[in-house]
Amino acid sequence: MSNRKFFVGGNWKMNGDKQTLEGIIKGLNDGALDPKAEVVVAPPTIYIEFTRSKLKKEIGVAAQNCYKVASGAFTGEVSPGMVKDCGGTWVILGHSERRHVFNEPDELIGQKVKFALEQGMNLIPCIGEKLDEREANKTEEVVFRQMKHIADNVSDWKRVVIAYEPVWAIGTGKTATPDQAQDVHKSLRGWLAKNVSEEVAHSTRILYGGSVTGNNCKELAGKPDVDGFLVGGASLKPEFITIINAKK
């Protein structure tokens, strides 16, 4: 059995206002959460400080993105230092929406990984293949390429939690079967063992993301190489607590 601590991240994406988020935060503060699970939520950047001020301290707060330098003429961007100043200790990087909606290349994501770690942040870098890539049997080729750009820039693996999110399963209602998820997670662990170290492969948590719900979370969580979830839409709903408690 692995001693990797179960981890559940909630990515709220571009959703909510103070009133809505207050309700979600209250649900988490009052909810009977598995004490053995590590929980982090990622509100829209503008609500990081609001969320941190209302949320119980056991739950971490993440930014959904940050830039590769500390300051400068980068309109609309935020730096890791700004996130920390508002109480955030985590950042999601390379989410498929950043890659495929905002066209962020692997190189930029690697640069962000390097700088965010240098600035003391904890990271949730995301990887995953599109439907045409899976159908062409290129899943491993794609995720290993993405992993290399991340791994080459990691200075401290203890502060990194990898999220495998097949793009074809995000917000589509399609979910990778537990066996499909396990196969990719196992391959990723093998890649880490070969390209980083056995120790990092054994200790690094690999999350599954992509249409995780209260109905499918227990079976997914039962797979040996699935160490938790990065949850999108369901993290805005009461079922998020069911997902957090998937190992209970």
Encode pLDDT of 68-89 as tens digits.
999 999 999 999 999 999 999 9
Q: Which of 246, 145, 158, 141 is nearest to 202 (CA)?
A: 158
What are the structural domains of the chain? 7-244 (3.20.20.70)
- pLDDT for 219 equals 96
Structure tokens at 121: 């942040």
CA 46 to chain centre: 19
CA distance 243 to 214: 5
- Cα distance between residue 195 and residue 112, in whole Å: 20
Structure tokens at 80: 């890791």
Task: Using DSSP, state whether 155 is helix, strand or coil.
Answer: coil
Specify the pLDDT at position 87: 98
Backbone angles phi, psi at 162, to 5 degrees: -80, 140
Catalytic residue among 38, 133, 165, 185: 165
Judge whether 95 counts as a catalytic residue: yes
d(CA 230, CA 165): 8
Q: Name the phi and psi angles at 147, rounded to 5.
A: -65, -40
Centre a 10 Å sphere on the Cβ of residue 74 and count the other Cβ atoms it contains. Answer: 11
Q: Alpha-carbon distance 109 to 153, whole Å? A: 9
Rg of the chain, C-alpha, whole Å: 17
The mean pLDDT of the chain is 96
Active-site hit among 95, 129, 133, 149? 95
User: Would you call 108 helix, strand, or coil by DSSP?
Assistant: helix
Check residue 1 and give its pLDDT. Answer: 54
Identify the three-state secondary structure at position 205. coil
CA 142 – CA 162 distance, rounded (Å) = 15
Check whether 187 has a pLDDT greater than 80.
yes
Task: Give the pLDDT band of residue 53 (cuts 50, 70, 90).
Answer: very high
Phi, then psi, of 159 in degrees rounded to 5: -105, 15
Q: What is the pLDDT of residue 172?
A: 80
Is 165 catalytic? The answer is yes
Write the pLDDT tens digit of every residue in 210-226.
889 999 999 999 999 99
